[in-house]
Amino acid sequence: MAMTGVLRPGIVQLRVLDMEAALKHYADHVGLDVVSRGEDGRVYLKAWDEFDRHSVVLREADHAGMDLFAFKVDSEASLDRFEKRIEDFGLAVDHVPAGQQPGVGRRLGVVIASGHRIELYHAIEPAEEHPEIHNPYIWRQAPHGMGAIRMDHGLLYGPNIEQVLAFFTGALDFQLTEKVDTPDGLLGIWMSCSNKAHDIAFVKHAEPGKFHHLAFYLEDWNAVGHAADLMIRHDVPIDIGPTRHGITRGQTIYFFDPSGNRNEVFAGSYHFYPDEPVRCWDHTEIGRGIFYYQKVLNDRFLTVVT
């Protein structure tokens, strides 16, 4: 599949309440590598199979949640093209200069109808410890903790998801892969800019700008089980799992960082191609759609957001 334009999720910035506790969680437990610390206190991390300098930024704040979710595009020309398309869509674009994050070029920012800040960028320095490219071993250094392979996707909660869908598909060329319908309209949307089942998802929620979870990709179901063992050993609060999704078919555990931000480790799923139909779920089957084995939603999954 030829991928152009928006390539993939690239950088997410999370707010945490205690940086040292957050680092123990994301570095020691999830298995990310600490790349650098900024003079402003932000910490930059990456997963072992990522080529770019960083993918996760932690910022200490007085309340948890997400500052921004950024996607990498294929060229500077595409960045200019998307700026015009976003403005033609009717949203204001702001500019973040190169170097505001170390090693990252200029970024475009937009606040979408759900209240979330979405950014686009192209230029980023390669990681010093990136996967080998000449006669490569599977990994350069043995993965640690849960062995997160990459920052994979996010689920965001907010209003106006019909407008959000129109923005991602109309301005950024994402495709809708799955949706949940109710008699009152859309409840949830899963969208892809690649051939993954989803790169970002949204669920309808009254409060704008809410963060539900950040997902890290693992190798397989055995790795998900290993992650569960680590969570029990280190008293990481588990929301639900190990289990499986009907929507996306992913194998999953949901859990919380020390600040209350929800994480997911995720494996499996299906490959999506642009000629495939949208998979549609009725709201009456949402329990099986989200938690395939349990067939019901737990209250935390619907109500706990940051």
Q: Are residues 213 and 86 in the same domain?
A: no
The label of the residue with tokens 């319908």 reads: 181
Please tell me which residue in 26, 44, 157, 254 is annotated as part of the active site: 254
Amino acid at 37: R
The distance of Cα 226 from the centroid of its chain, to the nearest Å, equals: 21
Catalytic site includes residue 226: no
- Catalytic site residue from 54, 198, 205, 212: 198
Number of domains in the chain: 2
**Has residue 1 got a pLDDT over 50?**
no
Domain coverage including residue 86: 6-121
Whether residue 165 is found in the same domain as residue 279: yes
- What pLDDT is attached to residue 4? 86
Residues 155 and 34 placed together within one structural domain of the fold: no
Whether residue 289 sits in one domain with residue 220: yes
Instruction: Classify residue 133: in a domain, yes or no.
Output: no
Q: Is the pLDDT of residue 271 over 70?
A: yes
CB atoms within 10 A of CB 261: 24
Give the other-Cβ count within 10 Å of 170's Cβ: 13
Q: Mark whether 94 and 239 lie in a shared domain.
A: no
Choice among 50, 119, 178, 264 that is catalytic: 264
Question: Within a domain: residue 74?
Answer: yes
Tell me, yes or no, whether 199 and 87 share the same domain.
no
Tell me, yes or no, if 54 is annotated catalytic.
no
Residue 2's pLDDT is what? 61
Confidence of residue 287 (pLDDT cuts 50, 70, 90): confident
Q: Is 254 a catalytic site residue?
A: yes
The answer to whether the CB of 109 falls within 8 A of the CB of 19 is no
Both 102 and 197 in one domain: the answer is: no
Q: Does any domain span residue 286?
A: yes
Q: Is 157 a catalytic residue?
A: no
Q: Is 134 a residue of the active site?
A: no
pLDDT digits over 41-62, tens only? Answer: 999 999 999 999 999 999 999 9
Whole-number pLDDT of residue 302: 79
Confidence tier at 154 by pLDDT (50, 70, 90): very high
Query: Of residues 153, 157, 178, 217, which has the active-site annotation?
Result: 153
- Catalytic residue among 122, 205, 212, 245, which? 245
153 is a catalytic site residue = yes
Residue 161, SS3 per DSSP = helix
Claim to verify: residue 93 and residue 172 sit in the same structural domain: no
Indicate whether 229 and 269 sit together in one domain: yes
Residue 220 φ then ψ, to 5°: -165, -175
Q: Which of 54, 116, 212, 213 is catalytic?
A: 213
Segment 97-150, tens digit of pLDDT: 999 999 999 999 999 999 999 999 999 999 999 999 999 999 988 999 999 999
Q: Is the separation of the CB atoms in 71 and 118 below 8 Å?
A: yes
